[in-house]
Amino acid sequence: MNHREDRFSELLSQQFPNITSASAEIINLHAILDLPKGTEHFLSDLHGEDKAFCQLLKNASGEIRLKIADVFSEKNKKAEKNAYLSQKEQDELAFLIYDPEQILAHTKKTKKTASFYHKTLSRLILLCRAVADKYTRSKVRKALPEEYAYILEELLHRHPDTPDRREYHKSIIDAIISVEQGDAFICALCALISRLAVDRLHILGDIFDRGSGPHRILDALQTYHSVDICWGNHDILWMGANLGNPLSVASAVRITLRYNHPELLEQGYGIPLRKLFALGDFLYQNDACACFLPKGDSSSDRLAVARAHKAITVILWKLELLFSRTHPCYEQQGSCTLQNIDWHTNTVTCDGISYPLLDTNFPTINPACPQLLTLEEQDVIADLCQNFKTSEKLGRHVRFLIQKGGMYHIMNGNLLYHGCIPLTEDGSFASFLGYRGRALMDYCDQTVRRAYFLEENHPEKQSAVDFLWYLFSGKHSPLFGKNEMKTLPRYLIADKTAQKEIKNPYYRWLEEENGKKIAQTILADFSLYEDTCRIINGHVPVRQNRGESPQKAGGVLFMIDGGISETYRATTGISGYTLLYNSHGFFLTAHNHSCENNQTHSQPLHSYRVIGDCREKRIRVSDTDTGLTLRKRIRELRRLIGQYQSGNLPQNPTLKNFCIK
């Protein structure tokens, strides 16, 4: 044993001062290794749909509903009282768990009898025991609400299998009812069931844009017990905006107004739009702004929003042209920009074809120097940049994204990322700035962190911040995955073919016969070699209504963007895919619109499993990353015991409790 190991054993001995305490910990760890692995929950491309997100979080993508069906099925009818429920009763219990405050508020007071509380609490306790079975008592104890921890622990871990014990449990519930705490305990149990149903939440990017509630999603994620995030290109956009990049700011504002959510900026993040709206009203007071009318049916003034939308979009087009000229190494020059417009014929050239402009009223564009901002435009974008940088809430959310996020994540043999690993036409890794594959992802990750952490006066700060704009829309960006972002054609050209953005060959290769080999090559580049390893991917909506499968590359890759964002539902035919990875394997679930529109609670949430990738042998903690850590700890403790036995380290006679945690 070397000096370093000796020193580590000395430090470890402070926590485990004798053979008895070290042995007890080894027993604890071995017991944990044999538990089933916890459930991992994967969500992608939320795009500000906070109501859908909350529903999916509450029902754990149907996992709680399936657990209810298992615990209260016909087979358990004779096993224990209250262990069988009809389909209607199961639905009612599910809705109660998803939204206990609302259900209890709608329950007539006449129904809230002692019998109601006894029945409801008994069912929730039975279900809670079932979802807690895969955890140690110590982990369950930490999840309990502090004010009710002792009582809930008594109810959960002391099975009423004797008359005395049943009477003891009944007396606890009676006491809860007598002090009018029945509703509070029901809510606490419902929250505990939802908490224990999922051990780890993975978000595969694009929390921002299109929907009205990305700030509410991030508020919820900040309080979630265990979460990691893979950045999406729309997340990077808002991160760049918070760092003051004018292009990112203009684009974030443009998308927000396009989907008619000015309240997100003004109320959600405290970013005033007064100057922008004033500029829009001044420039386009006699303009119908037909090409810029926002989507959706928000109650805000659509024409005022359209005018501001047009004003910020023109600013964005100017900044894009300026960026492409000042950053030639990024090859950011698109096929259709302001310089491709012929103002004499009112046409624009895109991919070599000339198209008539749908809108020709652009008083601030100088044909001789189209990238030049007017003084008023400079004032508006400077004001917006300052407000994005100083928004306390946005700053807090971006800090959380930096802390919990990254370009990719590896856990339990699975590789998670948002967009793609850029490939060439022949299926090999594409090179950008001398990096490819994992090295490119690592470079991008490091540059994002440098942009965030470098001091304002650092000479490399600005170039790092500019790189975030490239990650949002660049040709070789692993987060964007297309040849270019055709913003101008989407507004000013009627022909849809001019608006088409060509995807990176990565997406074509996933569908090819050699797709499995390509996916395995990507996994190997990230040091993942087992046949059980999987890639979990978001970004591109899977069109179920056209027969597309979310499982690609011979089953090695899951593409889980299925239209949680409302704007994609017509494309996908559903309201989103989510993925679960539990001790039995992978289960991909599809959801319809009821997953977020269940006001009456008269029908169950319609979530259905479309793919199951089950393992022959149940997956234990010993098979996970946590298992590797625990086995390492066991080896260290065995070395410590060896040191005690050899007399190299003295034992402290103080004993620790010898128990399973």
Weakest mean pLDDT among 263-272, 292-301, 393-402 = 292-301
The pLDDT of 162-187, averaged and rounded, is 83
The amino acid occupying position 628 is: L
Give the whole-angstrom CA distance, residue 333 versus residue 320. 8
What's the mean pLDDT in 425-436? Answer: 94
Confidence class of residue 604 from pLDDT cuts 50, 70 and 90? Answer: very low
Q: Which of 134-143, 471-480, 522-531 is the least confident region?
A: 134-143
pLDDT at 9: 84
Helices (H), 558-657: 569-572, 625-646
Q: What is the DSSP letter of 432?
A: B
Across the range 516-538, mean pLDDT stands at 95
pLDDT at 647: 87
- Tens-place pLDDT, residues 196-233: 999 999 999 999 999 999 999 999 999 999 999 999 99
Q: How confident is the model at residue 597 (pLDDT cuts 50, 70, 90)?
A: very low
Say if CB 71 and CB 127 are below 8 A apart: yes
Please, are residues 100 and 187 in contact by the beta-carbon 8 Å criterion?
yes
Could you tell me if 643 and 649 are in contact, meaning their C-beta atoms sit under 8 angstroms apart? yes
pLDDT at 298: 58
Joined together, the tokens standing for residue 167 give 């009477």
pLDDT at 75: 67
Residue with tokens 């999840």: 143
Give percent of the chain above pLDDT 70.
90
| CA–CA gap between residue 277 and residue 308 (Å, rounded) | 5
Q: What is the mean pLDDT of residues 137-145?
A: 86
Q: With 50 as the cut, is the pLDDT of residue 193 above it? A: yes
Query: How big is the chain by its Cα radius of gyration, in Å?
Result: 28
Q: In this predicted structure, what is the pLDDT of residue 603? A: 41
Number of H helices, E strands in the chain: 26, 15
Residue 599, pLDDT score: 41
Q: If pLDDT is split at 50, 70 and 90, which confidence band does 109 have?
A: low
Given pLDDT bands bounded at 50, 70 and 90, which one contains residue 596?
Answer: very low
The single-letter code of the amino acid at 347 is: T
pTM: 0.91
Question: What is the structure's pLDDT at 82?
Answer: 57
Give CA–CA dist 295/41, Å, rounded: 31
pLDDT at 142: 87
Strands of the sheet containing 353-356, edge to edge, are: 341-342, 347-350, 353-356
Question: pLDDT (tens digit, 9 = 90+) per residue, 333-353?
Answer: 677 889 999 999 999 999 889
Using the predicted structure, report yes or no on whether residue 62 has a pLDDT greater than 90. Answer: no
pLDDT digits (tens, 9 = 90+) for 277-287: 999 999 999 99
pLDDT band at 574 (very low <50, low <70, confident <90, very high): low
Q: What pLDDT is recorded for position 1?
A: 54
SS3 content of the chain, % helix, strand, coil (to 5): 55, 10, 35
Tokens standing for 396? Answer: 């807090």
Mean pLDDT of 375-384: 97
Other C-beta atoms within 10 Å of 220: how many? 15
pLDDT higher for 600 or 341? 341
Per-residue pLDDT band at 415 (split at 50, 70, 90):
very high
Q: Which range has highest mean pLDDT (89-98, 167-176, 321-330, 584-593)?
A: 89-98
Question: Which helix (H) or strand (E) is 385 found in, with range?
Answer: helix 375-390
Residues 6+ apart with CB under 8 A from 583: 36, 37, 39, 134, 618, 619, 620
Q: Is the pLDDT of residue 162 over 80?
A: no
- Distances 78 to 84, 85, 131 between C-alpha atoms, Å: 8, 12, 20
Q: Give percent above pLDDT 90 in the chain.
A: 61
- What DSSP string describes 122-155? HHHHHHHHHHHTTS-HHHHHHHS-GGGHHHHHHH
Under DSSP, is residue 172 helix (H, G, I), strand (E, B) or coil?
Answer: helix
Contacts of 606 (CB under 8 A, 6+ apart): 591, 592, 594, 595
Q: Any bridge partners for residue 356, and if so which?
A: 347
- Using CA atoms, how far apart are residues 170 and 81, in angstroms rounded to an integer? 13
Both tokens assigned to 431: 């090179």
- pLDDT at residue 593, as a whole number: 59
Beta strands at 534-537 and 557-559: parallel, antiparallel or unpaired: parallel
Per the DSSP assignment, residues forming a β-bridge with 341 are: 348
Can you tell me the mean pLDDT for 246-255? 98
The arithmetic mean of pLDDT across residues 514-538, rounded, is 95
**What confidence category does residue 390 fall into, taking pLDDT thresholds of 50, 70 and 90?**
very high
Per-chain mean pLDDT for the chain = 88
**pLDDT per residue over 532-542, tens digit each?**
999 999 988 87
The stretch 602-606 carries a mean pLDDT of 45
Q: How far apart are CA 340 and CA 343, in angstroms?
A: 9
Sign of the CA dihedral running 108, 110, 111, 114? positive
For the segment 85-109, the average pLDDT, to the nearest whole number, is: 87
- The reported pLDDT for the residue numbered 605 is 42
Strands 414-417 and 408-411: antiparallel
Q: Would you state the structure tokens that stand for residue 657, as one six-digit string?
A: 């409790």
C-alpha pair distances (Å), 400 with each of 235, 395, 405: 12, 9, 8
Residue 340, number of CB atoms within 10 A of its CB: 19
pLDDT band for 169, please (50, 70, 90 cuts): confident
> Mean pLDDT over residues 65-77, rounded?
80
End-to-end CA distance of the chain: 30
Tokens 């103002």, residue?
343
